Amino acid sequence: MKNEETLKRLKIVEGHMHGVIRMIEEDAYCIDVIRQIQAVQAALNKVSSGILENHLNSCVTTAIRGEDPAERERVLKEITDVFETATKV
């Protein structure tokens, strides 16, 4: 996912978040609010996946092909840490 596409998606998410805030301010039906929050979460997950894909295809690939074993281990540990954090949420 290119930066332009990432920013476009994030701006859409931002708009949805403003809508969720407005729903709370207007005391909207709880289930409707939850569904909108779930849609925001799904959109953010898609953005996150795109950013991760770019990272794997650029930074990680470069580190794995590089000469520095410490750098290879560092980027692989970063990926592991991201997945560990994601499963804690």
Q: Which fold has domain 3-88?
A: Methane Monooxygenase Hydroxylase; Chain G, domain 1 (1.20.58)
Number of Cα atoms under 13 Å in the Cβ half of residue 66: 14
**Hey, what are 84's tokens?**
């560990």
Residue 1 has pLDDT above 80, yes or no: no
Q: What is the mean pLDDT of residues 42-60?
A: 93
Q: How far apart are CA 21 and CA 10, in angstroms?
A: 16
Q: Yes or no: say if 33 and 6 are a contact pair by the CB < 8 Å rule.
A: no
If you average pLDDT over residues 18-37, what whole number do you get? 98
Confidence (pLDDT) at 3:
92
9-21: pLDDT as tens digits: 999 999 999 999 9
Q: Are 6 and 58 in contact (CB under 8 A)?
A: no
